[in-house]
Amino acid sequence: QDLDRGDRANQEEVEHRRRLLEEWMAWRANIEQDVREEREARGLPLDPVEGLVKRDEQGEDQVIE
Amino acid sequence: MRPILLQGHERALTQIKYNRDGDIIFSTAKDQHICAWFAHNGERLGTYHGHQGAIWTVDVDPTSTMIASGAADNTVMLWHIKSGKKLKTWNFDTAVKRVEFSEDGSKLLAVTEKRMGFLGTIVVFDIDLDPEAEQSDERVMTITCEEAKATVAGWSFMTKYIIAGHEDGTVSQYDAKTGEQLDNRQVHEMDQTITDLQWAPDRTYFITASRDKSAKLVNAADLEVMKTYVTDTPLNSAAITPKKDFVILGGGQDAMGVTQTSARQGKFEARFYHKIFEEEIGRVRGHFGPLNTVAADPQGKGYASGGEDGYVRVHQFDKGYFDFTYEVERQARQNL
């Protein structure tokens, strides 16, 4: 009986975690899409840093030349 | 996880920051100089001298060209990382407790201290990431904290909001263009100072640490508290780990509040919690005093902590860390 109770508690815990994980992943999918659309609508690059890093590397190349 | 001990500060650490690539660590302390270190071996890359008081805060721009620092000498300084040259000094009426670059490095905010005759403020500057450029003196925006001073602040995704944590345990959301306060919420216990605010990689949510012994995960768009991490000690810092869904909390009772200091030596711990399940999953000991600052490597390879004991401890995560997975996480991955 104790074992049963333990199993049930454990099962509830696992279900609880599964719910939390699903909620989180659903929120992430939503927010990532919202931000992507908003960035596009505002004409902002999807990765705010990508262009900057490239510009910096080009600058270094010029110094080497 | 065998740590690398970085020895170079003589006083309590105040903030640690990794650059975007995770290969350089910047640290500030009450000893008036900023240190830069190679993350993989702990070798010191350089120091930045010029402040005349305890340094409270540092941040590095996303291209790893410049760092900004704020100090008890009422200044913010901008430095060229490679040459160590000071590029700019901005003066204030009071100490500067926090600085942060926006996601593209084009703006810098500074949180100023409240003192007799001066309210706490959040001041914004435009930054030119060209190290040869003349930096502007102009404060493009000043937010004055009439109610409770801000202790920490940062820029959200798309530089849309400025989010601030206050000494009264509330979090504010401001329009980053106009400075108008859009929202203010009692996120932590009333009158329990918010001691840290760090972003998720995409800046859509952040974690706050508080003296109320908890850390909270908050949605930047609506200030909804999504997760709470409960501990038994006042917290000074909290970080979100990329790659794995963990958070790292640092704090500890001040030496004065501890009856038997010797018995606790080396026992101040960084605590790891599962970000989504809110459960504690591990602790890392080592510091001889409270952890004042924790930082996660943006590439997810490790973390660093800075203590009241004057040490920076850098940890590279091992296989066990990456392998640690809950059953439901394994299942969810298989179903993708």
One-character DSSP codes across B74-108: SEEEEEETTT--EEEEEE-SS-EEEEEE-TTSSEE
Mutate to test the interface with A, among B104, B177, B203, B222 (most CBs of A within 10 A): B104
B128 and chain A: CB distance < 8 Å anywhere?
no
Closest CA to B24 of B81, B108, B80, B95: B81
| Contacts A55 to B, Cβ<8 Å | 63
User: What is the nearest CA distance from B256 to chain A, expressed in angstroms?
Assistant: 40
Report the interhelical angle of A2-41 vs B327-335 (nearest 10°). 50
CB-closest option in B20, B204, B327 to A14: B327
A53 and chain B: CB distance < 8 Å anywhere?
yes
Vertex B307 angle, CA B301 and B311, to 5°: 75
Q: Which tokens hold the place of A7?
A: 């199993």
Q: Domains (ranges, CATH) in chain B?
A: 4-335 (2.130.10.10)
Contact: B202, A35; criterion CB under 8 Å = yes
pLDDT at B167: 98
pLDDT band at B334 (very low <50, low <70, confident <90, very high): confident
User: Rounded distance, CA B247 to CA B238, Å?
Assistant: 7
Among A residues 3-22, those touching chain B with beta carbons less than 8 Å apart: 14, 17-18, 20-22
pLDDT at B127: 98
Closest CA to B59 of B130, B109, B113: B109
User: What is the nearest CA distance from A3 to chain B, expressed in angstroms?
Assistant: 20
A25 and chain B: CB distance < 8 Å anywhere?
yes
B226 and chain A: CB distance < 8 Å anywhere?
yes
Mutate to test the interface with A, among B83, B101, B277 (most CBs of A within 10 A): B277
Mutate to test the interface with A, among B107, B202, B279, B281 (most CBs of A within 10 A): B202
pLDDT at B254: 73
Task: Please check the confidence at residue A1 and state whether its pLDDT lies above 70.
Answer: no
Give tens-digit pLDDT for B15-71.
999 999 999 999 999 999 999 999 999 999 999 999 999 999 999 999 999 999 999
ipTM (interface pTM): 0.91
Exposure class string for B143-155: b at 16+ Cβ within 10 A, else e: bebeebbbbbbbb
Tell me the pTM: 0.94
pLDDT at A53: 63
Give tens-digit pLDDT for B71-125.
999 999 999 999 999 999 999 999 999 999 999 999 999 999 999 899 999 999 9
pLDDT band at B177 (very low <50, low <70, confident <90, very high): very high
Give tens-digit pLDDT for B224-262.
999 999 999 999 999 999 999 999 999 998 765 555 555
CB-closest option in A17, A24, A52 to B326: A17
pLDDT at A33: 97
pLDDT band at A52 (very low <50, low <70, confident <90, very high): confident
Give tens-digit pLDDT for B28-41.
999 999 999 999 99
